[in-house]
Amino acid sequence: MDDLAALTYQFEHLFLKRIIEGLRNKGISIVQAKEYANAFLAIEPFTSVEDACAKITEFVAQHTAFVELKNYMVNYQNQKNDLAKIAKMREHIRQNNIDAALVVAKA
């Protein structure tokens, strides 16, 4: 599964989980759930990871009950950045250049 497919899957999963929770605790009505679902479907399909992030940011700004989606997106982006840093640091460490690896870590 590529990054976009995995990200889309997680967004859909978190969205539907929030709908279920809202319906169970009566924080979301059936009418609201339908409105949220239509709004969510309107932002799909995502064409890229960047597109998904932009659309989710806008969706959450309009529908604050789904802040978990934005939190997931931020964590996803942080993890992706960390993995890139780790890869660069690993290259420097393999070349016995610890100082360069630490510069990457601090950046």
pTM: 0.82
Query: Which residue, chain included where needed, has tokens 């250049």?
Result: 97
Residue 69 and residue 46: Cα distance in Å, rounded? 14
The Cα 46–Cα 23 span in angstroms is 26
Q: What is the pLDDT of residues 59-98, one digit of tens each?
A: 999 999 999 999 999 999 999 999 999 999 999 999 999 9
Cα angle 9-13-15, degrees, rounded to a multiple of 5: 120
Nearest Cα to Cα of residue 52 among 9, 99, 8: 8
- Provide the domain count of the chain: 1
Domain around 67: 3-106
